[in-house]
Structure 1
């Protein structure tokens, strides 16, 4: 795949990213629910002008989908963020440590780095506890647990038993975090998504359909919250 090219569409301009792919057989259009990025993927030999003409034909559709996308939230005092599935206001505070109460998340300056570090620690504690319980129930053990801010997946399991999770799971309802922990622990026994794998997840977690659906319907919204500017 060649390097992407940047263009714009209409007025006000919509940024477009054009990517060529040797595997593409037709033009495809994708709007990211995470950041609103519009990407056109086109076959290697298709003229660029044809792809841009296709985008112009779809301009109305693109704008409707962008308008329907929830706006990003800059996490700063006065904003609200989900934590454990509940919306909690962020407030400025003195001192050196982030403090979470039922009423507010108290964040001393500099806000962003301290808040992210605190949320990662809370996420690690919750995920480690859940993974320990599910691994014991499964009769397997994992080798390590790491956290990242992943966009394409909520968790993963490596062949040597390493578990990885998105720290943003701490923002989701507790049963969703627990489901993702059980899902990845389930891969310690089955490195696939076979019927045996799903039976194993159900055996250690229970009925996983509701939290799995929550992730499909609402998971991308957790990436709306931007902590860099806090």
Structure 2
């Protein structure tokens, strides 16, 4: 519903969110991409929220100090793709290609981030659809559909209707991590919970899942610091 920039060193951009459920003003700093969100209860004017954020400015800067810096993707960026870092460089021709440790992007450098994001989303869909197909066949349960999103709060989900959703940023993680998330969500087609039986199903489908699960916990936030300009 809007935003406000707190003056100071450094300036802090605060995004407003109106909530009918909220009972009080609150500030949240995302652990994934350092986005600052001010939640406003219904009936509280934005000016009151701004005053509240101004009072908390020093606390916000302290929270942001140790968060990973956001990195716009463009020429010169070192970007992880399937767990390997590739250097974004200028390319020839018309299409984005990669190989030999590089992502070569022709044309206007200002569009490089958006063009790379488009390719990554296509690759993510192909990899996740393939993994979901394999695991659903092994499980003996069909899923309804697959969608790709850029979610901050979760890497994937499975609805009660069998719809699978994944974060396309999983394509930047090592392949085993993407496979684990697919197995996790497909296992929910049988167990819509995180019971012991659910985790047994994940292990039946994927194998020992502790390493990729730990990787996401320790490194997942890094995947959200890349900004593609879209």
- Give the TM interval when normalised to the shorter protein: 0.7 to 0.9
CA distance in structure 2 between the partners assigned to 1:54 and 1:172 by the alignment: 38
The separation in 1 between residues aligned to 2:94 and 2:16, in whole angstroms, is 46
Q: Are the aligned partners of 2:79 and 2:86 in contact in 1 as well (CA < 8 Å)? A: yes
Question: 2-side partners of 1:188 and 1:68: how far apart?
Answer: 38
Identify if the C-alpha distance between structure 1 residues 160 and 221 changes in structure 2 by more than 3 Å, giving closer, same or farther. same
* Residue number in structure 1 paired with 2:93: 95
Q: Which runs of 5+ in 1 are unaligned?
A: none
Structure 1 residue 222: Cα displacement = 1.1
Distance 1:129 1:164 in 2: 14
Q: Does structure 1 retain, via aligned residues, the 8 Å contact 2:25–2:49?
A: yes
Q: Distance in 2 between matches of 1:188 and 1:217?
A: 27
> TM-score scaled by structure 2?
0.82
**Number of equivalenced pairs:** 227
- In the TM superposition, 1:147-158 aligns within 5 A as 147-158=148-159
Once the two structures are TM-superposed, the CA of residue 180 in structure 1 deviates from its matched residue by: 0.6
Do the aligned residues in 1 keep the contact of 2:83 with 2:173 (CA within 8 Å)? Answer: yes
Q: CA deviation at 1:134?
A: 1.2
Aligned residue runs from structure 1 range 189-228, under 5 A: 189-228=190-229
- Name the CA shift for 1:77/1:12 in 2 (closer, same or farther; >3 Å): closer
Preserved contact between residue 73 and residue 227 of structure 2 (Cα < 8 Å): yes
Contact 1:26 1:43 in 2 (8 A): yes
Q: Compute the TM-score of the two structures, normalised by the length of structure 1.
A: 0.82
For residues 117 and 14 of structure 1, do their structure 2 counterparts lie closer, same or farther at Cα, with a shift above 3 Å needed? closer
Cα 1:139–1:228 change in 2 (3 A) is same
Indicate conservation of the 8 Å contact 1:28/1:42, yes or no: yes
Residues in 2 aligned to 1:183 and 1:74: alpha-carbon distance in whole angstroms: 31
1:67 alignment counterpart: 65
User: Any unmatched runs of 5+ in structure 2?
Assistant: none
Task: Report the CA distance shift for 1:227/1:57 in structure 2 as closer, same or farther (over 3 A).
Answer: closer
Aligned to 2:224, the other structure's residue is in SS state helix
For 1:113 and 1:4, the matched residues in 2 are separated by: 24
CA contact (8 A) 2:148 2:168 kept: yes
